Amino acid sequence: MGGPKKYSVEFFGVFDTVTQVIGYAESQSKFDYFSNKIEKRLQDLTKLYDIYNTYEGISNLKTINDNAGKQPVHVDKDIINMLKFSRDKYALTEGRVNIALGAVLSIWHDYREAGISDPKNAKLPPMDKLEDANKHTNINDVVIDETNDTVFLRDPEMSLDVGAIAKGYAVEIVAKEIEAEGFTSGVISVGGNVRVIGHPSDGVRKRWGIGLQDPKAEINGTQNLLDTVFVKDSSVVTSGDYQRYYIVDGKRYNHIIDPDTLMSADKFRAVSVVTADSGLADALSTCLFILDYEDGLKLVQSIPGVEACWVMKDDSIKATDGMKKIMKKLGGATGSEG
Ligand code: AMP
Ligand code: MG
């Protein structure tokens, strides 16, 4: 039998999570060629977008943060473009997603890490500490010089945290590059940040079926899916309260911080976004997790080609009409839709 066959591979070590690549190719070696390129490129971008580690011979986001208030840092175009993209998303989300929130987020990060390793003594960050840090989160103090390819943080106390956007942005870069090389039917999932290329080349299916995790699954210990969404040439990105969190006095505090309250966002269990660009999907899922449902819905409806669903605190589901149409359980989709 001719025709492409389905292959898959899993690897660890990029963006601190598991990556899965699935795709149709003419042969195992052709698939390996594509998946190796994807892995290598994701490894490079992981280093560039890392805020915690320094790598020999590389100027990355940590280098920029370390030089805050001191000097501009010469960086790769992949950093310049990602920061410009993120600055646009600050405007789009009216400041809800702010990569200059590092001073606040690093306090939450430290308290969360401490609380996870010593749950009995888990504490919330003091509000005065958060408020002080919040004085150093002005996105206009991120100075991007595109002529010289430098980035300078004008405020010595500020720092960048690109956790809300960089993974999705990186997946988009890699998907576009590998598609141009001839990988025309596949799925790249970096820790659940999913980008699909084309549709499955099995001569039957018109769309890839992507599982949405049930936020309750982690507690029940089941693999139950909330639903399946059917997509082609698109991204599916979820922000959820089960992804990274700690418990203080019996209450869960997740990793997404509302810049207005400086507290962890508490309105939903999860929000998923479907749209072509994985970087946009990543930025919007974080934003929608912070906004009220009504405001989030308005934002989604104002951007062409974006669909979303919200898992409410009582586990009920709300979704845009376009999202329902591609959902298996909620909308009766089968994946055979064109
Ligand atoms: P995500 O899982 O894409 O929703 O992104 C969550 C990550 O983004 C967190 O772990 C933080 O690193 C970062 N983050 C949290 N809150 C914000 C915010 N309001 N603006 C920008 N980044 C944030
Ligand atoms: Mg995000």
Contacts of 150 (CB under 8 A, 6+ apart): 72, 73, 74, 75, 144
Distance 273 CA to ligand 2 centre (A): 10
Stretches where the chain sits below pLDDT 70 are: 1, 218-223
Distance 50 CA to ligand 1 centre (A): 14
Distance 305 CA to ligand 1 centre (A): 23
Tell me if 256 CB under 6 Å of ligand 1: yes
Is the whole model's pTM more than 0.95, yes or no?
Answer: yes
Beta strands in 169-324, from DSSP E residues, in sequence order: 186-190, 193-197, 208-213, 225-231, 235-240, 245-248, 251-254, 268-275, 307-312, 317-319
| Probe residue for ligand 1, chosen from 257, 267, 288, 311 as the CB with the greatest number of ligand atoms within 8 Å | 257
Distance 53 CA to ligand 1 centre (A): 18
pLDDT value of residue 338: 78
pLDDT value of residue 1: 55
| Probe residue for ligand 1, chosen from 255, 260, 284 as the CB with the greatest number of ligand atoms within 8 Å | 255
pLDDT value of residue 136: 98
pLDDT value of residue 141: 98
Tell me if 89 CB under 6 Å of ligand 1: no
Helix (H) or strand (E) run with residue 224 in it: none
- CA–CA distance, 125 with 110 (Å, rounded to integer): 9
Residue type, 263: M
Bridge-partner residues for 137, per DSSP? none
pLDDT value of residue 220: 60
How many Cβ atoms from other residues are within 10 Å of residue 54's Cβ? Answer: 12
Of all protein residues, the one whose alpha carbon is nearest to atom 6 of ligand 1 is 164
pLDDT value of residue 38: 98
Distance 239 CA to ligand 2 centre (A): 6
Tell me if 50 CB under 6 Å of ligand 1: no
- CA–CA distance, 58 with 252 (Å, rounded to integer): 37
Atom of ligand 1 nearest to the CA of 237: 3
**325 is written with which tokens?**
């149409």
| Segment 52-60 long-range contacts (CB within 8 Å, at least 24 positions apart) | none
pLDDT value of residue 255: 96
**216 is written with which tokens?**
């309750």
Distance 101 CA to ligand 1 centre (A): 9
Closest CA to 207 of 25, 336, 24: 336
Helix (H) or strand (E) run with residue 178 in it: helix 166-180
User: Any idea which ligand is nearest the CA of 254?
Assistant: 1
